Structure 1
């Protein structure tokens, strides 16, 4: 069983990381979440839980408007083969999340380090990053530096790569 929203907030607080969270109706897609714009400033994320043929798992987090080429991303992220979406059962087992609530905050539950985290460099140009705090009924805003500190504290050294194919070099 994964950590709860309250346990995540306690963990962040214990680390000295200040965040702000708004509660809202459950959203399951980026399109639904975009209806909340105006209430929350900063970059909003899109998250892909991927696996390769050798059962290596990746959490790829990009800006919500990013275009991701699933046919070529494996070469960028170090996968052993083309990738596909990870099964909901593995998402729950490794990150304690369900589809629609996928988020970098789920890495708090990956204590065995089954999942490699990849952040898009365009996303990381923003001072504030927004993500679901283990539930798709809220959005949490965190400073970029604090997000990186959180990931390192969970034992995840993120790869920061150009994933968005719509962004010119």
Structure 2
């Protein structure tokens, strides 16, 4: 009978340690640059969970101006799923990165990656990180209004033609 309190305390300490909540850390790039007309851009996001727990439910949300763009859930007791407000435009790839296709200047904004982890004990830990997407115009123009991309190609083409004509006349 004398040892009973020690055994109870011992089991209480073990139980307390086993219910320690997970901590979630989310990492994104501070800024990502793209050009209008690009086929796609990838907004990087990754997360770590410490200490790791057995089969936690993990939800990754990407938001823009507070509105949900895409969600990916894995683990836990529910089958994995992916949803998107516009599946042709927004997809979560790799662990948690957001792929945006058909990049336009309207896509320039601040995006938030939110990760929620729910271990089997039912507690939920969340963490967020933001990234800024800047989109530059697809045509590179000088101050004089000359389109360097288009006019530069035309100039190169004309130079090649001129060199070919000179070499044939020699």
Q: TM-score, normalised by structure 2?
A: 0.24
With a CA cutoff of 8 Å and minimum separation of 6, indicate the structure with the bigger relative contact order.
Answer: 1
Select the structure that is richer in strand. 2
Larger radius of gyration: 2
Q: TM-score, normalised by structure 1?
A: 0.24
